[in-house]
């Protein structure tokens, strides 16, 4: 069963690369007070900035930078599925984003295991006029978060 790869001691892990990262627009609303651990991480894909103000990631072979967020409550998936316009029972082509599993690594390249990530279909990225970000970083203020430290969040 695939879902088991993304679980840890009864919780769930999600790789975030956009507005759900610490310090970004949706972190406070969806993640604050619920994250057990947030750590810098990377995965493989392609990252795009969308003119509508948030990013999209597609399957690819480039490094995408973000955070691995660990949650104790599996219910976070329902809230994030709604935010990302993902219907688990729906057709992949009809969802804005699809939730898939990816292997996540720390900044040194060591595997942190598997996590859920929300990916967009390349055709949707093109339709929304996404601009490829070859360095794999997205920030709402266009400033780099390369210096942000890993941290543990307490409730």
Would you write out the chain's pLDDT as a tens digit for each of its 155 residues? Answer: 344 455 556 699 999 999 999 999 999 999 999 999 999 999 999 999 999 999 999 999 999 999 999 999 999 999 999 999 999 988 898 999 999 999 999 999 999 999 999 999 999 999 999 999 999 999 988 644 343 334 444 33
Place of tokens 């360095």: 135
Place of tokens 């599996």: 74
How far apart, in Å, are the Cα atoms of 29 and each of 49, 95, 124, 128?
22, 22, 26, 25
Q: What pLDDT is recorded for position 143?
A: 44
Q: What pLDDT is recorded for position 90?
A: 86
User: How far apart, in whole angstroms, are the C-alpha atoms of residue 104 and residue 101?
Assistant: 9
Cα 146 from chain centre: 16
136 token code pair = 């794999």
User: How far apart, in whole angstroms, are the C-alpha atoms of residue 102 and residue 115?
Assistant: 6
Torsion region of 78: left, alpha or beta (phi above 0 gives left; psi -120 to 50 gives alpha): alpha
Q: What pLDDT is recorded for position 8?
A: 53
What is the three-class DSSP state of 93?
Answer: helix
CA-wise closest residue to 56 among 3, 152, 130: 130
Count other C-beta atoms under 10 Å from residue 78's C-beta: 11
| CATH, domain 2-132, list 3.30.70.20, 3.40.190.290, 3.10.490.10, 3.40.50.11720 | 3.10.490.10
Q: What pLDDT is recorded for position 142?
A: 62
Q: What pLDDT is recorded for position 151?
A: 40
Q: What pLDDT is recorded for position 152?
A: 41
Q: What pLDDT is recorded for position 37?
A: 97
């Amino acid at each position: 069963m695939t879902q088991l790869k993304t679980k840890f001691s009864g919780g769930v892990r999600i790789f975030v690369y956009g507005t759900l990262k610490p310090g970004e627009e949706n972190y406070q609303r969806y993640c604050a007070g619920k994250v057990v651990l947030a750590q810098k991480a990377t995965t493989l894909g392609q990252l795009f900035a969308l003119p509508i103000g948030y990013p999209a990631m597609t399957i690819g072979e480039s490094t995408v930078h973000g955070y691995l967020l660990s949650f104790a409550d599996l219910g976070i998936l329902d809230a994030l599925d709604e935010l990302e316009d993902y219907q688990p029972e729906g057709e992949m082509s009809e969802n804005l984003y699809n939730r898939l599993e990816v292997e996540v690594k720390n900044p040194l390249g060591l595997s942190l295991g598997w996590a859920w990530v929300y990916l967009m279909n390349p055709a949707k990225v093109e339709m929304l006029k996404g601009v490829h970000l070859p360095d794999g970083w997205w920030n709402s203020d266009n400033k780099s978060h390369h210096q942000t430290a890993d941290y543990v969040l307490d409730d």
